[in-house]
Structure 1
Amino acid sequence: MCPPTFFDVRYAINPWMHPEVPVDRERALAQWSALVAAYERAGHRVDRLDPVPGLPDMVFAANGATVVDGRTLLARFATRQRAAEAAAHRAWHERFGVLYGGLEGPRLAEPVAVNEAEGDFAVLSSVVLAGHGFRTSPDAHAELAALTGREVVGLELVDPRFYHLDVALAVLDADTDAVAYFPAAFSPASQAVLAERFPDAVVATAEDALAFGLNAVGDGRNVFLPPGAPHLRAELEVRGFVCVEIDTSELLLGGGSVKCCTQEIRPTPARATAAHEGDPR
């Protein structure tokens, strides 16, 4: 995670960004810090990525890399405004990837195709769901599959308000392939794929999705999400999840919430314990 030290809205690269609306950076930092604290109370470790002046969107760390079984596919951003963020993520993974890499050392792949990492890659135990249509290229799906050996299933996004997969679909429990999603964000063909593969999924409403309720992080027990998605919260609680609501209203001015702020590190099984016990910062 990267603190919003330099967070601002100076340009509009998604429908949620309005440069004429001022940003309260102190409030953004307080909200981000509350998310970090919630993760740590739940037993998760949070490593910090140093922010870089002039890169106001670095707080949205999910877009910098995808780590699966200790193998890392770096991002190649679709927009010139965020392109320089890739170098900071590369440097972090080059330095600390050994903590969670395979026994032969970390596997770090430079992308050829455009991908915005966990913005468009949702990692489950049996499959990686991969968004395309606005940011990530379908060619990047094959790159991640080749690097990780995982099945990667493409899903087409059709509503520009849901420009990344992680604002249209949430992983609730990667081990059991439990997900929640908003059908109208996807093409009819992709809706059919989701309905077939995830018949027990939580189906979110438009209210849930527009409140960024699906920009959530689930660990199998807890689901960390912003407020404003009452139907989604009720459905999650019926299924036994503990909902941890975090106000991210200031960060939403940049078009991101809980998941956008969170790059999840998935080590190889042999390194999982060591990576958890180590401290790179």
Structure 2
Amino acid sequence: MSLDSPATEAFTLQRRAKGGGTAPLTHWGFANETDPLSDVLLGSPAHLRHLATSSLSRKFLRDAPCNIQVAQAQHAELVSAYEHFGVKVHFHKPESELPMQVYARDSSVMTPYGAIITAMSQWWRRGENYAAIRSYEALGIPIYDMVTAGTFEGGDFNVIEEGCVLIGCGGARTQEEGARQVQSWFEAEGWETRLAFIDEYYVHIDLMVVPIAEKLTAVCLACTDPAIVDWLKAKGHEIIDVPFQDTMALGCNFMSLGKDKVIAPTSSKTLIDQLRARGFEVAAVDTQEISKTGGGIHCMAQSLKRVAA
């Protein structure tokens, strides 16, 4: 569980070919977020603090603050679940000045072409972007590019299927300017892109829409734009509806491991029951305490490598 890795690509801070045509990486990356996961990047909760990063975390901070020791133990169980499924876990180097670094999806985005370094909206998290650059350099993963036009966070980059990305934009954490910059890059690469304008209350698009397997996606129908749902269905996706109450408890924020394996929060009983009824192997992990700080299982993980089944 380290960042030590032989470099397989020449590290660079901007690998993106202007105008498109960037060559995919030969070792790292993935075609979609439902292929079998072999390597994942997590953030350590060693310096975790409960801060008001969203409406959800602010409410818990007021009414029932996070027990940090319990949260750290829950994160250890999450790491064990990845290891149980044979996924190699890499960690950002913990830094005391980065209390929210546990949410490894926010500070970067992994793509088939290299990592995108995002632009965090909250000043106390912007250092995570710089730390992410160091992590990718240590791993030998080049940077595709860095978001510069506005704020943009990784939970709003949602690869729906190969060559197709849903980009969330709530205004508070991801601004339209940042979202459209990323959109332009992937349209130039020949990807289908779709912008989803969401209420800032929901923070990121991966609160309500997360792919499970090929043509199977979990969606909170109660809070997702019907036009997005229609778009998914037109692409042949079967929808598993995650109830609103479960979604607000991060129940739609799980991690697909490929080959009908999923890590999901124990609180998401409807989703877990539906997946098991379809023959999925589900590792249910209690994340209730750590999620008080503002994120779920999907928020805490950055896929580094998935291998096509």
Contact 1:170 1:214 in 2 (8 A): yes
3-state SS of the aligned residue for 1:66?
A: strand
Shift of 1:22: 3.7
- How far apart in 2 are the matches of 1:57 and 1:28? 12
Structure 1 residue runs of 5 or longer lacking an equivalent are: 99-105, 273-281
* 2:220 corresponds to: 182
1:202 and 2:243 correspond:
no
Aligned to 2:144: 108
SS at match of 2:83: helix
The answer as to 2:111 corresponding to 1:68 is yes
Shift of 1:141: 3.4
Secondary structure of residue in 1 paired with 2:124: coil
Aligned partner (choices 109, 125, 131) of residue 88 of structure 1: 131
Instruction: Find the aligned partners of 1:52 and 1:156 in 2 and give their Cα distance.
Output: 33
CA distance in 2, matches of 1:23, 1:54: 19
Q: Deviations over 1:81-128 (max 9, x none)?
A: 211211000111123234xxxxxxx343111232101x1112232411
Determine the C-alpha separation between the residues in 2 that align with 1:198 and 1:212: 25
Q: Does 1:127 align with 2:164?
A: yes
Structure number with higher relative contact order (C-alpha < 8 Å, ≥ 6 residues apart): 2
CA contact (8 A) 2:117 2:143 kept: no
**Residue in 1 aligned with 2:29?**
none
| Aligned match of 1:9 | 50
Q: What is residue 154 of structure 1 aligned with on the other side?
A: 195
**Paired AA for residue 216 in structure 1:** F
C-alpha separation in 1, matches of 2:113 and 2:88: 16
Q: Within 2, Cα distance between the matches of 1:46 and 1:232?
A: 25
The equivalent residue for 2:38 is none
Q: 1:142 aligns with which of 183, 192, 212?
A: 183
Residue type of the alignment partner of 1:183: L
1:163-200 alpha-carbon deviations (Å, 9 max, x no partner): 11111112212xx2421111232334334323433541
Across the two proteins, how many residue pairs are aligned to each other? 257
**TM-score under structure 1 normalisation?**
0.83
Q: Aligned runs of 1:158-237 on 2, under 5 Å?
A: 158=199, 160=201, 162-173=202-213, 176-220=214-258, 221-237=260-276
Q: CA RMSD in A?
A: 2.2
TM-score calculated relative to the size of structure 2 = 0.76
Deviation at 1:47, TM superposition (A): 0.3
Question: What is the distance in 1 between the residues matched to 2:65 and 2:274?
Answer: 35
Whether the 8 Å CA contact 1:227–1:245 is kept in 2: the answer is yes
Equivalent residue letter for 2:211? V
Q: Distance between the aligned counterparts of 1:141 and 1:187, measured in 2?
A: 21
Amino acid of the structure 1 residue aligned with 2:287: T
Which one of the candidate residues 75, 99, 116 is aligned to 1:56? Answer: 99
- Taking the aligned partners of 1:47 and 1:211, their CA distance within structure 2 comes to 26
- For residues 53-96 of structure 1, give each alpha carbon's deviation from its aligned partner in whole angstroms, at most 9, with x where no partner exists: 12211100011211111421111012222112110001111232
Q: Deviation of residue 23 (structure 1)?
A: 3.1
Q: Distance in 1 between matches of 2:226 and 2:200?
A: 12
Partner SS state of residue 211, structure 2: strand
Secondary structure of the structure 1 residue equivalent to 2:304: coil
* Bigger share in helix: 1
Measure, in 2, the Cα distance between the counterparts of 1:191 and 1:251. Answer: 30
Contact residue 170 and residue 181 of structure 1 kept, 8 A? yes
CA distance in 1, matches of 2:278, 2:256: 13
Consecutive unaligned residues of structure 2, counting only runs of 5 or more, are: 1-41
Question: Which residue in 2 is equivalent to 1:101?
Answer: none
**Partners of 1:245 and 1:148 in 2: how far apart?**
37
Q: Equivalents in 2 of 1:33, 1:250: separation in Å?
A: 13
Q: Give the CA deviation at 1:143.
A: 4.6
